[in-house]
Structures are given as structure tokens and as C-alpha cells.
Amino acid sequence: MPVVSHTQPTPTTDLLKAPMEICWNFDYAIDIEKLRNLYAKAKDAQWNAERDLDWDVALDPSRPIVDEAQFGFQALPVIQKLSKSQRETFTAHVACHLLSQFLHGEQGALMTAAALTHAVPDYEAKLYAATQTMDEARHVEVYQRYIDKLALVYPMSPGLKELIDATLTADHWVKIAIGMNMIVEGLALAAFHNMRRQTTCELLRKITENVLRDEARHVAFGSVYVGETIRDMHPDDREDVANFAFEAVKAMVDNQGGVDGRGKRRRDPGFLQVLASAEIDPKDFLQSLVEAQQAGLRVERPPGQVHSFKDLMMPALVRVGAVTDRTRELYAAEQIPVFEDASVLEAMENSATGVIEFEV
């Protein structure tokens, strides 16, 4: 048997070097009651993907598993002129592309949660982070199994990969918690919430509900633990953390074509494959987007959807003190609004199920 060096990347691996300090703690007393509660809650809420979900459901990969309104593309002229079956194929592939991002993002979350377990200084925070690590392992498992039924995995979007790489290779655990528990999980929580509302597949709805219940705890960890740590930091370190948050938010906003999604989006080879699968010329698609924007037509999301940036991400960052007076100026210079209303975020955290319903 040839010896494979663990430092050699293979076609399916990617190696990163992390500079973060790892922390032992021999004081086993629990001082942070809220973390003890979160850990207790997490232990009670463990579920088994194998046992608790009905995997026998057969899926037809060519049929949409979500309503096309979920993605808001149906108003685009390029989509309207497609035949019914082409539209269904397009929606099915867009959903598969999104689910693939869930899968890859969950693997990133699995690794960041493990990194938090290494690096957080408090014993009770290590216990909590270990439960998040197990949660994320289960999330990778369920999305992998579901995608397996669709028989197609799209590659990770370059923007998401870069954001998670920057988080994984950050030099302080607080940056990891900001990058994952607030920014990436803010994105994910909104996407899961919206997927749960729109899917026509009972198995996917059940998966998403189970995942959401776990994710609400992950976002709560940010508010319970990270806020206190940032408040106690030396001002220079606080600015360093705030700067990391700003850079991560800016990268995410740039990837998505600006705060309102109307600017130039970052090229995503996976999405080009989606267009090719539905026999849509990428140039026609782009042109249609530009024309729709010029005509004042927006790619509108249906009512009742959660907006990751406005409802979850920015309020979470403000709440923990990761937006400072200095970085407020940076956000203003980039015309990125600093949303502060944490009501949707808090409703999700306080809900036992992670699910909230809106009056629409």
C-alpha cells in the first residue's frame, strides 16, 4: 500500500493552515449559567437522522421540490418564455444548487464548531461547542443523504467557500464565531426558514425543521458568549474583530450583487451549470436580469420570507458589539446599512422549534 501524505491535497480535498491558539482549561467550574442551559438544551434536543426521518420516500429529480416562487426568478422574461417542463427543470436545478450549498456550508460549520471547541477559553463553552459540532455532523449527513436521492451535487459557490475559508483561518475564535455563527448561519437560517415554507417535499420539510431547531441554538451562542467576550476585549482587539466582521459582510454583499441584489453578482460556475441544464443561455439570463432591473422589475421574494442580511446578520453583529463607531463609517462608505432591529432574530432564538411564522 502506498503511503499517502496527509499534507497532499487530493482532487476532493482542500488543505488550509490555521493560525489560531488552542486553549486547555483545567477549571471545570461552570460560571456562565446561560451556556450551561444551552448545553443542557442541546443534549435534550439531539436527534438521529437515521431513525427519526423517513428516508424511504422516492424522489423524482426532474420534478421541482420547491415552489418556483421561492427563488423569485419567475418574473424574468427569460424564464417566462420557457416551456412548462423547462421551467420545472430550471427550478429543480436551482433547488439542487441551493441544497448543495447547504451541504458544503454544513461541512464548513462542522469544522468551525470543532475549531470553537478547541479554542474557546471556558470549559462550559467547550461543552456547548462540542454539541454544535455533533449538530453540524448530523446536518452534513442529512443533506448528503437527501442530495444523494437527487443524484446531483453542485460545487460550492466561490463566494461561500472564501467566506468560510476566511472564517476557518481566522486567528481568534471570536472571529470564527462571527464568521460562522452570525454571518454564514444568518444566511443559512434565513435560507432554511424560506425552504421550509416553500418546499413541496415532506422529507425535506422535516429535515429543515430538525436542522432549524439546532441552528437557533447556534445563533443564540453568539449572543450569549461572544458579546461578553467582545465587551471585555482591549479596544484594539475589538477593532480588529469589528474589521473582520466588516470585511466578511462586505465580501458577502459583493458576492450577492449588493445589499439589494441589484448589482453585479460574482460569477458562480455551479450556477452556470444550472442554466446549462435548463438550456438557458447565460448571456440571455444576464441580459434578462439587467433589463428587468432597468424596467424597475425586482427579483421579489414572496411575503413572509426572512431576509438574512436585514433580519439576522446585521442585528446579530450590532448586538454583540462587533460593529464599532469606526466600522460604522466603513459600512456607510460602502452604503451597507447597519440594521439593528433584532426582533426576528430573537423570535427565532426564543422559539423552541427555531421556526417563526409571520402575519402575511
Q: Which of 165, 170, 177, 169 is nearest to 17 (CA)?
A: 169
- All three cell numbers of 1, joined, read 500500500
Nearer to Fe ion, 183 or 274 (CB): 183
Rounded to a whole number of angstroms, the minimum distance from the CB of residue 213 to Fe ion is 11
Q: How far apart are CA 48 and CA 110, in angstroms?
A: 16
Residue 207 beta carbon to Fe ion: minimum distance, rounded to whole angstroms: 11
Q: What is the DSSP string of 152-208?
A: --PPPPHHHHHHHHHHHT-SSHHHHIIIIIIIIHHHHHHHHHHHHHHB--HHHHHHH
Question: Cα–Cα distance between 93 and 107 in angstroms, integer?
Answer: 21
Q: Which stretch binds Fe ion (CB under 5 A): 100-108, 141-149, 200-208, 340-348?
A: 100-108
Report the residue number, 164 or 275, with the smaller CB distance to Fe ion: 164
317 part of the interface to Fe ion, by CB under 5 A: no
Residue in 286, 264, 291 with CA at minimum distance from that of residue 275: 286
Query: Near Fe ion by CB under 5 A, which window of 55-63, 130-138, 261-269, 292-300?
Result: 130-138
Q: Judged by CB, which is closer to Fe ion: 197, or 218?
A: 218
CB of 276 to Fe ion, least distance (A): 30
Q: 341 Cβ partners below 8 Å, 6+ apart?
A: 311, 315
Q: Give the N- to C-terminal CA distance of the chain in Å, as an integer.
A: 62
Contacting range for Fe ion; rule: CB under 5 A; set: 116-124, 211-219, 238-246, 303-311: 211-219
3-state secondary structure of 187: helix
Please, are residues 193 and 355 in contact by the beta-carbon 8 Å criterion? Answer: yes
Minimum CB–partner distance for residue 142 and Fe ion (Å): 10
Q: CB-wise, 217 or 238, nearer to Fe ion?
A: 217
Per CB under 5 A, 193 contacts Fe ion: no
Nearer to Fe ion, 252 or 275 (CB): 252
Site map (CB under 5 A) of Fe ion, residues 131-170, x = contact: -----x--x-------------------------------
Q: How far is the CB of 344 from Fe ion (least distance, A)?
A: 17
**Binding-site member from 87, 175, 218, 319 for Fe ion (CB under 5 A):** 218
3-class SS at 199?
strand
| C-alpha pair distances (Å), 206 with each of 143, 195, 326 | 12, 11, 43
Q: Residue 199: beta bridge partners?
A: 66
For Fe ion, give the closer residue by CB, 181 or 327. 181
Region of 123-131, 200-208, 218-226, 326-334 interacting with Fe ion (CB under 5 A)? 218-226
How many chain residues bind Fe ion (CB under 5 A)?
A: 6
Inter-residue contact 147 to 153 (CB < 8 Å): yes
| Residues within window 256-315 making contact with Fe ion, judged by CB under 5 A | none
Of residues 221 and 309, the one with the C-beta less far from Fe ion = 221
Alpha carbons 156 and 236: distance in angstroms, whole number:
34
Least distance in angstroms from the C-beta of 215 to Fe ion: 5
Contact yes or no for 65/92 (Cβ under 8 A) = yes
List CB contacts of 62: < 8 A, sequence separation 6 or more.
88, 89, 92
Which of residues 68 and 135 has its CB atom nearest to Fe ion in the complex?
135
109 part of the interface to Fe ion, by CB under 5 A: yes
Cβ nearer to Fe ion, comparing 68 with 136 = 136
CA neighbor of 225 nearest in space, from 184, 187, 174: 174
Footprint on this chain of Fe ion (rule: CB under 5 A): 106, 109, 136, 139, 215, 218
